[in-house]
Structure 1
Amino acid sequence: MPETTTTALDKEQLRELVADVLDLDVAEVTDDADFMEDLDVDSLMALEITVRLEKEYGVRLAEAELTSITSLQGTYELLTSKLGDTR
């Protein structure tokens, strides 16, 4: 029987990844906290988040999709959509 691997998207794991990149406590990364305004994310941090997301979840994010990565919820919704498209 062939083995299939699926990358299930767990919001708490995503929260931990973002908190790790931003060197923040996990509790600070709320679902609706704006990365730039509330969490002081600059363009280099945003790029690092994007790279980690692509590596962790095996997705390729188009430049136009990067505007969705402004909060944990927006990022979660984008990744859910991307992972759903690849299955």
Structure 2
Amino acid sequence: MNKLVSKEEHLSLIKQIVSDILEIEPAEMTPESLFKEDHDADSLRAIEILASLEKAFGVEIPQEALARMVNLQGVYQVVQEAAGWES
């Protein structure tokens, strides 16, 4: 039986990936906290996040999507679109 992965499970994995790359505790990040302003992320980290998400979810994310990947909500939306998840 194939179990569907919930939005919460996807968000949890995305949050873990992003917090590992930004070297912060997942609890320090909210869905709205900004990676650059609140967590000192630079463009290299943003590319690392993009590459890690592509690998974790088996999707291809265009570089232009980086502009929308400023917080967890944005990242989730970009991955959701790339993966074709239901909202």
The answer on 1:71 being equivalent to 2:71 is yes
Unpaired segments ≥5 residues, structure 1: none
List per-residue Cα deviations over 1:11-49 (Å, max 9, x = no partner): 011111111111100111210011111110011111111
Higher helix share: 2
CA RMSD of aligned residues (A): 2.0
Kept in 2: contact 1:7–1:57 (CA 8 A): no
State the TM-score, normalized to the length of structure 2: 0.82
- Which portions of structure 1, spanning 4 or more consecutive aligned residues, are displaced by more than 3 angstroms? 6-9
State the TM-score, normalized to the length of structure 1: 0.82
Tell me how many residue pairs correspond in the alignment.
Answer: 82
Identity of aligned residues (%): 33
Q: Which has the larger radius of gyration?
A: 1
Q: C-alpha distance in 2, partners of 1:28/1:65? A: 24
